[in-house]
Structure 1
Amino acid sequence: MATALENQNDSTNQNPEEEQTEDAVLVDRFPEALRVSRFTFFTVCVLSVTFVLFSSMPLWHTDIWGHLTYGQLIWETGSIPALEPLVPLSSGVPFIDTAWLTQIFAFQTYEIFGVAGIKLLYAAAITACLGLLLFRVQKRTSSFWWGLVCVSAFLVCDWKQLGIVRPQLAGLLSFVLLFTLLNARQWRNFYWFLIPAVFALWANLHGSFPVGLGLIGCFLVGRAVDVGRKAGSWKAMFGDSVTRRYFLLLELSAVAVLFNPYGIQLYSEVFSFSSNPNLEALIEWNPLTLRMFQGKTAAVLALLIVIASRFTPRRIGTTEVLLLVGLGAAAMWSSRMVLWWAPVAAYYLALHGAAIWGQKRRQLADPDAGEVYCAGKWTVVSVGMVWICFAITPIGSQILHGKQVDFEKSVSASTPIGATDYLKEKNIEGQLFNSMELGDYLLWDGPENASVFADSHVHLLPREVWDHYLRIANSSGDAEELLERYGVNTVVLDLPRRNTLTRRLERDGAWRVGYKDDRSVVLIRNNPIR
C-alpha cells in the first residue's frame, strides 16, 4: 500500500521541465502564417499534376510558330509592322497585331529556354485558370470536391481548344481572372485599379477583350434587372450602389483598353474580325454541332446545368442566365466561343451541385471550414509536391539538371520537321504551295528565300488568294493551272489529309516526290517555271 502511494506521489510531483519537454515534441512550431490545411495540399496536388500533364503534351504545329515569328520580327526591328510582313501574297494588307505583347514575351522565353519555355508558358496559363476556379468555388461552397468538379468539367469541355498553343490562352486567363473577381463575395477597393489594369494588359495580349467587357455588361444588366424586379420599380436600379459600380467599372475597363498601339482602332479590328469571309472555311469557326467532341461535351454539361437548375435551392440570378445563354448562343454560332462558355458553365454547375447536396455536402467539404485546421506538415508536403512536379517537367529538368529538351519529342507528330530540313538542304527558293496548317512552321524554320502561300492567319490573305488556295488544296479541276499561275515549283502538303492532291500531282507526270515521311510530302516540279 505504501509503495503504491509513493509511486503516485512520484508521478504527481514529476519535474515540470521534463513534462514541458515531452509536450514540446507534439507542438507544431512551424510559423502560423505559413501553415496550410490538408485540403490546400489536395489543391496543390491537383494543380501540380495539371502542370505536369500540360508540360508533357507535345506542342501542336499550328499557330505557335507563326506567332513566334511575328514576335522575333517585332523584337528585332523594334516596331510593329503596319502591313503583313511574312506572307508575300498578303503584301500590302493592313496588319493590326492584337497579340503583339504575347508574341514578344513568347519569343523571348523561347530565346532563353527554348521549347521548354513555351511548354512552361502553356502549362502555367492553364494551371492558373484552374487555380482561380478552384479558389473561387472553394470560397463559395467550402468544398474542395465541388471545386474539383468545376475544373474537371471545364477541362473536359475545353479539351480540344486547350490543345492549341496560341495567344488566346492569355485571353482565357484574363477572362477567368475577371470572372473570379466579379464573383467575389466582398468587393475590395483595389479592384477599381486591378480590373482596368487587367483590361489594359488584355488588349495587348489578345483581341478577345470584348468578351470581358460583355462579362461585366452581363453583371450590370443582371444586377439591374434583379433589383428592379425585387423593388417592383425599374427606377430602383438607378439608386442601387452595386449597379452603379458595375456601370462605372465597365466604363473604366472600356477606356483602359485604349492603352494599346492602335488606340480606338483596335475596337473596329476585333469587332470586324469574326466577319472575315476567309474564316468560314475553318472548322473551328463553324457552328458547334454534336458531331464535334466539344459539341458532345458541351451538350452534356448544358444538360447537367438544366437538371441542377431544376432541383437547386440556390437562387438563380439574371446574371447567371445572361452569361450561360449568351455565351452558349455564341458557342453555337462559332465553336471557338465554347472556350469562354465552359469555365462559366462549370462554375455554376459546381455551385448548384453543392447547394443540392445540402446537408450531405458537409461530408465532402473541408471539415475544418469555419475553423480551418492548418499544420506545418501540410505546408512541407505541399512544397515538396510542387518541387517534385516541377523537377520532372521539361523546364525543371533543363534548369535543375541542365538536361536539354529533345525538340522533336516536344512537338506534335504533325510538325513538318523532315520536310523543312529537306527544303533547307536543297536550298528551295521562290513561291511554295503549302497546306495552311504547315505554314506557321515553314515561316519559323523554313528556307529564307522561299515564300509561304498561307499560314494560320488566313484573315490576312486577299479573298481571291484564299479562294485559290482552297481550290488547289481540295484538288479542284483547275488546281494545276493555278499552281502554274503562281509560279509554284515546290508543293509541301500534310499527310494523310492531302492524300488526294498528292496522288493527283504524282499521276500528272509533271511532279516528282522529293521527300516523304508519315507527316508530310514535298513535291518538286520536273520542269521548273522560270
Structure 2
Amino acid sequence: MNTTTGSARLGPSGLYSFLKWIPVVALIILGLSLFSNTIIDTDIWWHLSAGRYIFQTHTIPHADIFTYPSAGHEWIDLHWLFQVILYGVHSAWGSYGISILFILIFSATFLTLWGACRPVKYRLAAFLLFWLALMACSSRFLPRPEAFTYLMISLYVLLLHGFERGHCKQAVFLLVPLQVVWTNMQGLFILGPFLIFAFLFPMVVMPFGARVLKREWSRPQPDSVKRLAAVFLGSIVACLINPYGIQGFLFPFTLFTRAGGLENMFARSIAELQPPFSGYNLTTPLKYFGVFLALSAAALVLDFKNLKVSHIIIFAGTAYLALNARRNVPIFVIAFLPLAVFHAGNLLERVEQGWNGKFRSVMKAIGVACAILLALVSAFYAFSVLTNRYYISDKRAERFGFGFKEQMFPNGSFVFLKEKEVRGPLFNNVDIGGFFIWKMYPDEKAFIDARLEANSAEVFAEYFQAMSDPQAFEALSQKYGFNAIVLSHGSGDALFLMPDLYSSPRWTLVYLDPLAAVFARNRPENATLIAENRVNVALNHIPFLSPNDTLNASSSKMLQGILDTVAAVPPSDAEAQNRFALGLLLLVMGQPERAIAYFKAGLELMPSSPEGHYNLGLAYDRMGQTEMAVESYRKSLELDTEHTFAHVNLGRIYDERGLKKEAEKEYRLAIKYGGEMPVPLFNLGALSYEGGDRDAARNYWQRALKADPSFTPAREALNQLESPSPSSH
C-alpha cells in the first residue's frame, strides 16, 4: 500500500515556492553580517561624553564645553536625545549593548523598507535592488545618529507611499510626533518635511498645471490634500520643538554648507564629506551605489507611464545630496529603494504583458536560476564579511564582531597622562579628540575634535596648517602654551609632525605604544616626568600591543560571552596591524632597520597584506637596498594591482636604472588607478622632456600643477621650459 500522501510530495510548484525563499534567507544573513561590525567610529566618544554630561547635569549644552580654543563657542547639539539613549545603553550593557542597539535599528530600517514595497510584483527585482542597497550602504552601518535618520526615512516613505496609494489615511498623522523625535536626534531632520512636501506638491500644483496645459490629470481627493497639508504644517512646527528653537530649525542649512565639493575646506580634510566619485578611494560600496543609482534612474525613466512627480522630487533631491558627499549615499538609497522597486515591477509587468504569456515557463526557470545566483553571491559576500576579507580587501578599518574594535583607540596614552598627572594645556590631533574628551573631561579639555558644529572653520584651518607645517605648529604651541602633546600616529598628519617633534629641543617623547605617542615640553615642571619616561626610538623596546585596552570590560558578561562566540569565526589582525603601525612610525622617525623588523613580524602574522609589503619595500628603499625594495613592491602589487604608490616607487627605481619604458608603464598605471597625482605626472613629464617631446612634457607638468597647485617641482620645470635658453641670446 502506498502510504505517501500528496502533501509530502514536492512537485514543481512546491519546489519553486521553496527556492524563492533561498534569496530571502541569504539577504537576511548578508544584512545581519554587515550590521555586525566592531565599533571603529571615533565620533562615538564625544556623543557618549555629551550623553554623560546631560545625565549628570540634567542640562543640554548650548556652548562648547569640551575644547579650550572653542570654549563658549555656540554649539547646537541636536543629537542630544541620541546621546542620552547611547549613554544609557552603554551604562547598562556596555559596548556590546551598543552593537545590539544598532543591529536592531538597521534591521528595523530594512524591514520597514520591505513593508513600504508591498505588494511586491516581482520579488526577484526587489531582491536585487535590496541586495544593491545593502552593499551600497555597507560602509555607513556605524553607531552614529544617522542610523536613526535612516530608520526615520524608511518610516516616512512607508507612510507616504502608502498614503499616495490610498492607504495610511490616519497613520500619516504619526509623522508629526515622529518629526519631534527626529529633530532631537540628528541634524538631517529637515528631510522629514522635504519628503512630505515631495508628495504634497503634485497634489496641490499638478491639477492647476494640467488645466493650463489642457491635459487630463487625476485630481486627488480634497480630503487627502487637506490631511497631507496639515501633516506638512505640523512637521514644520515639530521642527521648532527643540532646545534651540528657531536656531535649531535653521541648523541643517548650516550643516549642508559644510558638506560636499572638493573646494570646501571641510570636504578636503574629511573623507566622508567628499563626493563619492571624486576619484578618492572608490570603495566597493560606492561602486554598488553607482549601479543602484543607474538602475533607479533607468526604472524611473522607462516606467514613464507611471511616472509620479513626487518620485522625481525625491530622486533629484536625495541624489543631489548623495552625489555631493559620500556620507549621504544611504539617504538616497533608503529614500528611493521602495520607489525603485515599484517602477522596476511595473516595467517587468509591462514586458510580461507584451509577450501575452509566451515563454512564461522559460522566464520562470530563468527567474529561479537568477534567484539562486543572487543567493550564492549573497552567501559569498556574507562569508567574505564574516572572515573580514571584505573589509581588508577594501582597505577599511571595520571588522566583523561586536563592541569596540580592539587596539583601535589609544587608551594606554590617556592612562599614562592620568597616572603621571600631566597637566594642560594639552594638544591632540583631531582623530582622537572625541576619545580625549571621554577619558579626560572635565579634568582637561581637548584642543580639537571632529564636531563641525562646535569648532569653527577658523579653528580647523589653524589646526590643519599647524599639522602640515612645523613652524606653524610651534607658533600655535606658543599661542596656547601646550604643556604636552598626544598624537595618534595612525593618522598621516601626525606621522608627518612626529619626526620634527622628536628632534626638537623643545619637546621630549615620554610615551610610545602602537597607537599613540606623548611628548612633554622641556620645562622645569616636567623634569621628573622626562627623566623617568624618556623614550629613545633607536633603543627602547616598544610593546606590540597597546596596554590597558579594556574598553569592552563594562559590557554584560553574559551578552559578551554569547556574541564573542558568534564572532569567533575571523582571527584578529590587531597584532599584525600594530606591528605595521610601529614599523611605519620607526620608518618616519629615521629608523629603517628597526622598521624592517616590525614589518617582517607583521607579515609573519598577515602575509597577504599589500600595505605591509609596500611599507617593507619603502624601508628597503630608504636604506638603498633597491633589489629588496623592488621585490617587496612587486609582492604588494601581486596582492593589490591598484596600489598606486607601489607603482610610483617601482617606476622611479626603473627610471633611475635607465629602464624608461618600464618606468613609463608604472607611472601610467599609477595615474590609471590613483587619478591625477602630481608625482607620476611630473615624472612622465620628465621622461617626455628627456625624449625631446617638450609639448608632452608641458602637458604633464601642467596637469601635475592642476592636481596640486603647491607642487613646486612642476612649477619650476614649467618656468624653466618657458624661459629662453642661453643660446637664444
The normalised TM-score by structure 2 is: 0.57
Aligned 8 A contact 1:472 1:483 in 2: no
Distance in 2 (alpha carbons) for counterparts of 1:255 and 1:40: 44
Structure 2: 5+ residue stretches without partners: 9-16, 259-263, 353-359, 369-385, 387-400, 527-729
Moved more, 105-114 or 464-473: 464-473
Identify the residue that residue 183 of structure 1 maps to in structure 2. Answer: 161
Deviations 1:5-40 (A, max 9, x none): xx9xxxxxxxxxxx9xx99x99xxxxxxxxx99978
Go from structure 1 to structure 2 and tell me whether the alpha carbon gap of 1:38 and 1:246 turns closer, same or farther (over 3 Å shift): farther
Identify the residue that residue 432 of structure 1 maps to in structure 2. Answer: 426
Asked if residue 317 in structure 1 is aligned to residue 308 in structure 2, the reply is yes
Identify the residue that residue 194 of structure 1 maps to in structure 2. Answer: 174
Look up the equivalent residue of 1:442 and give its one-letter code.
Answer: F
Distance in 2 (alpha carbons) for counterparts of 1:251 and 1:224: 14
Asked if residue 284 in structure 1 is aligned to residue 275 in structure 2, the reply is no
Distance in 2 (alpha carbons) for counterparts of 1:317 and 1:408: 42
Aligned 8 A contact 1:227 1:240 in 2: no
Go from structure 1 to structure 2 and tell me whether the alpha carbon gap of 1:284 and 1:110 turns closer, same or farther (over 3 Å shift): same
Asked if residue 354 in structure 1 is aligned to residue 354 in structure 2, the reply is no
Identify the residue that residue 4 of structure 1 maps to in structure 2. Answer: none
Distance in 1 (alpha carbons) for counterparts of 2:524 and 2:41: 29
**RCO comparison, higher one (Cα < 8 Å, 6+):** 1
Go from structure 1 to structure 2 and tell me whether the alpha carbon gap of 1:50 and 1:158 turns closer, same or farther (over 3 Å shift): closer
Deviations 1:348-392 (A, max 9, x none): 3333333333346877999xxxxxxxxxxxxxxxxxxxxxxxxx9
Identify the residue that residue 236 of structure 2 maps to in structure 1. Answer: 254
2:35 paired residue among 54, 62, 72 = 54
Identify the residue that residue 422 of structure 1 maps to in structure 2. Answer: 416
Moved more, 467-476 or 288-297: 288-297
Identify the residue that residue 100 of structure 1 maps to in structure 2. Answer: 80
Go from structure 1 to structure 2 and tell me whether the alpha carbon gap of 1:335 and 1:476 turns closer, same or farther (over 3 Å shift): farther
Distance in 1 (alpha carbons) for counterparts of 2:221 and 2:442: 64
Residues 27-46 of structure 1: matches in 2 within 5 Å?
Answer: 43=24, 46=27
Distance in 1 (alpha carbons) for counterparts of 2:474 and 2:265: 22
The Cα of 1:463 is off from its aligned counterpart by 4.3
Distance in 2 (alpha carbons) for counterparts of 1:65 and 1:482: 26
Look up the equivalent residue of 1:155 and give its one-letter code.
Answer: L
Identify the residue that residue 151 of structure 1 maps to in structure 2. Answer: 130
Go from structure 1 to structure 2 and tell me whether the alpha carbon gap of 1:412 and 1:194 turns closer, same or farther (over 3 Å shift): farther
Go from structure 1 to structure 2 and tell me whether the alpha carbon gap of 1:148 and 1:268 turns closer, same or farther (over 3 Å shift): same
Look up the equivalent residue of 2:342 and give its one-letter code.
Answer: L
Distance in 2 (alpha carbons) for counterparts of 1:422 and 1:50: 40
Deviations 1:141-181 (A, max 9, x none): 2444333323322222223333x321121122111111121
Identify the residue that residue 467 of structure 2 maps to in structure 1. Answer: 473
Identify the residue that residue 64 of structure 1 maps to in structure 2. Answer: 44
Go from structure 1 to structure 2 and tell me whether the alpha carbon gap of 1:43 and 1:297 turns closer, same or farther (over 3 Å shift): closer
2:440 paired residue among 443, 446, 452 = 446
Residues 257-406 of structure 1: matches in 2 within 5 Å?
Answer: 257-275=239-257, 279-280=266-267, 281-292=269-280, 293=282, 295-309=286-300, 311-312=302-303, 315-358=306-349, 359=352
Identify the residue that residue 173 of structure 1 maps to in structure 2. Answer: 151
2:514 paired residue among 512, 515, 518 = 518
Moved more, 199-208 or 84-93: 84-93
The Cα of 1:109 is off from its aligned counterpart by 0.6
Look up the equivalent residue of 2:487 and give its one-letter code.
Answer: L
The Cα of 1:273 is off from its aligned counterpart by 3.2
Q: Percent identity at matched positions?
A: 23
The Cα of 1:76 is off from its aligned counterpart by 0.9
Secondary structure of the 2:476 match is: helix
Go from structure 1 to structure 2 and tell me whether the alpha carbon gap of 1:193 and 1:303 turns closer, same or farther (over 3 Å shift): closer
Distance in 1 (alpha carbons) for counterparts of 2:221 and 2:214: 11
Q: CA RMSD in A?
A: 3.6
1:213 paired residue among 175, 189, 193 = 193
Moved more, 152-161 or 106-115: 152-161
The normalised TM-score by structure 1 is: 0.76
Look up the equivalent residue of 2:410 and give its one-letter code.
Answer: P
1:507 paired residue among 489, 497, 503 = 503
Look up the equivalent residue of 1:175 and give its one-letter code.
Answer: I
The Cα of 1:202 is off from its aligned counterpart by 0.8
Structure 1: 5+ residue stretches without partners: 1-6, 8-18, 27-35, 367-391, 393-406
Secondary structure of the 1:119 match is: helix
Distance in 1 (alpha carbons) for counterparts of 2:320 and 2:76: 28
Go from structure 1 to structure 2 and tell me whether the alpha carbon gap of 1:290 and 1:471 turns closer, same or farther (over 3 Å shift): closer
Distance in 2 (alpha carbons) for counterparts of 1:525 and 1:298: 48
Identify the residue that residue 15 of structure 1 maps to in structure 2. Answer: none
Distance in 2 (alpha carbons) for counterparts of 1:71 and 1:61: 16
Moved more, 461-470 or 65-74: 461-470
Aligned 8 A contact 1:203 1:209 in 2: yes
Distance in 1 (alpha carbons) for counterparts of 2:447 and 2:497: 16
The Cα of 1:439 is off from its aligned counterpart by 0.7
Distance in 2 (alpha carbons) for counterparts of 1:349 and 1:241: 28
Identify the residue that residue 11 of structure 1 maps to in structure 2. Answer: none
Identify the residue that residue 129 of structure 1 maps to in structure 2. Answer: 109
Aligned 8 A contact 2:96 2:403 in 1: no
Aligned 8 A contact 1:143 1:365 in 2: no
The Cα of 1:73 is off from its aligned counterpart by 0.5
Secondary structure of the 1:157 match is: helix
Distance in 1 (alpha carbons) for counterparts of 2:49 and 2:524: 29
Aligned 8 A contact 1:61 1:412 in 2: no
Identify the residue that residue 87 of structure 1 maps to in structure 2. Answer: 67
Look up the equivalent residue of 2:435 and give its one-letter code.
Answer: Y
Go from structure 1 to structure 2 and tell me whether the alpha carbon gap of 1:362 and 1:85 turns closer, same or farther (over 3 Å shift): farther
